[in-house]
Structure 1
Amino acid sequence: MTTSSSPARITHWIDGKPFGGSSERAGDVFDPATGQVTGRVDLADVATVDLAVAGAATAAEAWGEASLAVRTRVLFRFRELLDAHKGEVAAAITAEHGKVLSDAEGEVTRGLEVVEFACGIPHLLKGGYSENVSTKVDVYSIRQPLGVVAVISPFNFPAMVPLWFLPVAIACGNAVVLKPSEKDPSASLLVARLWAEAGLPEGVLQVVHGDKVAVDRLLEHPDVASVSFVGSTPIARYVYETGTRNGKRVQALGGAKNHMVVLPDADLDLAADAAVNAGFGSAGERCMAISALVAVEPVADELVAKIAERVATLRTGDGRRGCDMGPLVTKQHRDKVAGYVAAGSEAGADLVVDGREQEFDGAAEGFWLGPTLLDRVTPDMSVYTDEIFGPVLSVLRVASYDEALELVNANPYGNGTAIFTNDGGAARRFQHEVQVGMIGVNVPIPVPMAYYSFGGWKSSLFGDSHAHGAEGVHFFTRGKVVTSRWLDPSHGGLNLGFPQNA
């Protein structure tokens, strides 16, 4: 592996400017397509986290008192800036994560949808009002910000996942401490700079890079009111249990094993296209990736052949070269995923396409693993039981719809699923009976629009609040109910000017 002669230093963002911090620890940031170290990211110590939280606490007082009109103007300006600079943000994602540029731009665009949703915060925070519940007594409800909130985001979506939370939390009047993945931190700093350019006051968004030291401090800090997390299930469980034990409101989105059920009446060309797109997009490093295809016989042979034909046309390589799929994020992760491929083959699965034995359009030192297709996988194999988080698609064969449903429902994960069929009755039955939080009907990646909420069931979610949408607004606010009686009318004086918001 080659190493860059002068890796860039990647620092924290505190109180509206770069901040070096007091820790001497740092981590390597790689270009996955070349294997080179391109950056050294500062890893925060407890003192740096405390400084960020203190600044956020000060900023939260004034920002929480800012009018909805003021907050909304910042949101609209940020939306325009992010849209104008999405190419720059996408390039940073590709350089550190490895996904192809078109996929990175799509990630930013999906994040923009949440910003647009949050621009409607004046409507989203409207409460209810009941007049004269008793004689001359009225009752109404209001929602107020929490104060300082923490967001801990994963490596696979360095822009989109933070944007699931930041716009809603900020629009609701909170200050946010973001801890992005130390594997690809630069996109978060670009986003922070755009927030500042949009007029967000200093300290309302703090970015602290780090590892478990930073995470644990955020989970235990007495001034942090809530924690939003996206990552693997074991860490999500840890975040939820530790955060709630320290009195925090927590939404922790965990791992997934997403199934795509194909019934015999389905359009197999459509299903094959969908399986390839959802299985190998972003090198399978998506929490909504399809990793288990459940073929209801007698379609498995034909479907597997169609998928293999399509996989043969894909080009894996440097995401800046117009390839279909990029590298995995680190060498360690690439080796781990390759180990699952070997284990599946050794356990008896048919290795239809071996991603370890392909040509790659990129430097030899890149973290490459091509699309891999395993057929005749059984539920006891590790390629099925474990969340691999790589470009490995496993095909399981079942005899009936009921067997397919039982397989999906028996899985400990319940993040996303899809069914491909031309039978409306079967689709309706599936969406009612399946024990999964997000469902696609002839749609392989059922990621909801921003005005709906994102999140799964079972071991894919800890806490009862999903991301963005109405649930996101409720998560980042607390409700009050006011009962009032006013016995005498008041007079406000004369003012013939047109009223304006400020």
Structure 2
Amino acid sequence: MTTTDTTSPVHAATDLPTVGHWIDGADYPSRSGRTADVYDPALGVVTKRVALADGAEIEAAIASAHAAFPAWRDTSLAKRQTVLFKFRELLDARKGELAEIITGEHGKVVSDALGEISRGQEVVEFATGLAHHLKGEFSEQVSTGIDVYSIRQPLGVVGIISPFNFPAMVPSWFFPIAIAAGNTVVLKPSEKDPSAANWLAALWKEAGLPDGVFTVLHGDKEAVDGLLTHRHVKAISFVGSTPIARYVYETGTRNGKRVQALGGAKNHMLVLPDADLDLVADAAINAGFGSAGERCMAISVVVAVEPIADPLIEKITERIATLRTGDGRRGCDMGPLVTRVHRDKVASYIDIAIEDGATVVVDGRDVVPDGDANGFWLGPTLIDGVPITSRVYTEEIFGPVLSIVRVPSYADGVELINDGAFGNGTAIFTNDGGAARRFQNEIQVGMVGVNVPIPVPVATFSFGGWKDSLFGDTKAHGAEGVRFYTQQKAITSRWLDPSHGGINLGFPQHD
């Protein structure tokens, strides 16, 4: 949530576009006087600025969503679904445009950007069938002449605070279900790559969504705090680092909000001696270096049960040598990191590893990129013998740094993983079905892969971890997402006289 205030005369003299808010179904130019730089990470240059909301703009965004809620709540499920289906078709037809926007501001390669859009689209498709998940229960004649039934109703205005690493997918975990359930949404995207949010807002309008139902509020901590404390915001969905997730959860709940705050991770891949090491090496590369390691589900630690560490390291090293790091628009395998500050922070862990006695097998600082020299480059990095007391092991690095930790047995590997502060995702690689079944039972992690390195569940299931990886009781999308964005109402009913609606031989229709 930290930003750089770029209102100095030097910045003001340059002629760059500014990404404004989206309020009342239209671009809303900011008057706050505060902006943040938005970079093209592959070029290392500022390409635009994003508005940082002040109190008046925060109020305007929430007021618009609040005003739109009653009509959208009372819109039939059939009509809401029509808008969802139209949005889905437009997104499918034009996702290439969105992918280019993401690559230009985040830096991930275009194919990876398309992948995140497709995973977000899964939730849109799930939400098109939300009428099924909103069905209540009914008990007839619980007492003489009395029936009891339940219904699920929307909450009102809900806030979504999303991170930089998935500017399309992570918001899409939340807003399709929130909107389909009858809520109105205020999205606060990352100021590092803000344009995807406005593109999605315009697509919603084209799909027929009424003005005010989907609002984009750009900003920094001031905007976040505005959502967390405003009386009209009923729920908050957040994805980001663990310290901020904890802050969001504590502040939001203290102000009477429902909060689901997904935090950080340190994901392990446990490799047993019977595993196919070629499969493991491929998986470690894909899960460790995809999106330059800027994924909360990235594998950052390979736990190798001896004696396989040495041959596995050899295979991973061979594969790293074939990777091409560079501009994501050039067909490279891995792009830059999102900012220079973040790149330098990730690179600093390599020095820490050396100081702590680890062996740097492949040093990403030596990479020769296929891109502009000013880009925020750090190549795939492989470190062996990382002490579990080192910050390289204990902290979420969020970059292309893959650590190898050697253990003598399966039991030692499970103990190591379970002792960690995080519990987001993990994986086991083995050909032993009994070991895999035992692992999924014993491991204290929310999402588990069996020979699958990035176990992100499909949209019909729910996404979220354990321990310091999730604050709140409800995970994202799936059945838990539906429950989060609705509240149940129980109705006890008695009718003393029957009523008749008259004669109508026409086929009954939904409207």
Q: Which TM-score band (shorter chain)?
A: over 0.9
Matched, 1:116 2:125: yes
Q: Is the 8 A contact 1:153 1:231 kept in 2?
A: yes
Matched, 1:224 2:233: yes
TM-score (norm. length: structure 1): 0.99
Q: Which residue among 391, 416, 424 is the counterpart of 1:382?
A: 391
SS of 1:37 mapped into structure 2: strand
Partners of 2:110 and 2:443 in 1: how far apart? 35
Q: Is the 8 A contact 1:283 1:327 kept in 2?
A: yes
Partners of 1:75 and 1:374 in 2: how far apart? 46
Matched, 1:263 2:272: yes
Q: Is the 8 A contact 2:285 2:319 kept in 1?
A: yes
Structure 2: runs of 5+ lacking an equivalent: 1-10
Matched, 1:312 2:313: no
Q: Is the 8 A contact 1:3 1:36 kept in 2?
A: no
Matched, 1:467 2:476: yes
Structure 2 partner of 1:280:
289
Q: Is the 8 A contact 1:253 1:460 kept in 2?
A: yes
SS of 2:366 mapped into structure 1: coil
Matched, 1:78 2:92: no
1:3 deviates by 13
Structure 1 partner of 2:217:
208
Matched, 1:179 2:188: yes
Partners of 1:333 and 1:445 in 2: how far apart? 23
Partners of 2:452 and 2:496 in 1: how far apart? 58
Q: Is the 8 A contact 2:422 2:466 kept in 1?
A: yes
- The aligned runs of 1:82-97 (5 Å cut-off) are 82-97=91-106
Matched, 1:424 2:472: no
Report Cα offsets for 1:324-373 as digits up to 9, x if no partner.
00000000000000001111122111100000001100001000000000
Partners of 1:421 and 1:92 in 2: how far apart? 39
Q: Is the 8 A contact 2:148 2:493 kept in 1?
A: yes
1:4 deviates by 12
The residue identity in structure 1 corresponding to 2:479 is: A
Q: Is the 8 A contact 1:4 1:37 kept in 2?
A: no
Q: Which residue among 24, 35, 43 is the counterpart of 1:26?
A: 35
- The aligned runs of 1:122-141 (5 Å cut-off) are 122-141=131-150
- The aligned runs of 1:443-458 (5 Å cut-off) are 443-458=452-467
Q: Which residue among 318, 322, 340 is the counterpart of 1:331?
A: 340
1:406 deviates by 0.4
Matched, 1:35 2:44: yes
Matched, 1:348 2:357: yes
Bigger drift between 2-11 and 418-427 goes to: 2-11
The residue identity in structure 1 corresponding to 2:253 is: T
The residue identity in structure 2 corresponding to 1:359 is: V
Q: Which residue among 9, 13, 18 is the counterpart of 1:9?
A: 18
SS of 1:393 mapped into structure 2: strand
1:255 deviates by 0.2
Q: Which residue among 382, 402, 406 is the counterpart of 1:373?
A: 382
1:486 deviates by 1.9
Structure 2 partner of 1:250:
259
The residue identity in structure 1 corresponding to 2:391 is: S
1:389 deviates by 0.1
1:70 deviates by 0.7
C-alpha RMSD over aligned residues: 1.2
SS of 1:389 mapped into structure 2: coil
Q: Is the 8 A contact 1:22 1:47 kept in 2?
A: no
SS of 2:365 mapped into structure 1: coil
Partners of 2:46 and 2:132 in 1: how far apart? 46
SS of 2:364 mapped into structure 1: coil
Structure 1 partner of 2:506:
497
Structure 2 partner of 1:408:
417
The residue identity in structure 1 corresponding to 2:151 is: I
Report Cα offsets for 1:37-87 as digits up to 9, x if no partner.
001101001110111100100101100010000100000000000111100
Report Cα offsets for 1:143-173 as digits up to 9, x if no partner.
0000000000000000000000010000000
Runs of 4+ in 1 over 2 A off after TM superposition: 2-7
The residue identity in structure 2 corresponding to 1:27 is: A
Partners of 1:197 and 1:366 in 2: how far apart? 35
Structure 1 partner of 2:487:
478
Percent sequence identity over aligned pairs: 70
1:267 deviates by 0.7
Q: Is the 8 A contact 1:4 1:36 kept in 2?
A: no
Partners of 1:244 and 1:3 in 2: how far apart? 39
Structure 2 partner of 1:239:
248
1:9 deviates by 1.3
The residue identity in structure 2 corresponding to 1:355 is: G
TM-score (norm. length: structure 2): 0.97
Structure 1: runs of 5+ lacking an equivalent: none
1:5 deviates by 5.8
SS of 1:356 mapped into structure 2: helix
Partners of 2:285 and 2:360 in 1: how far apart? 16
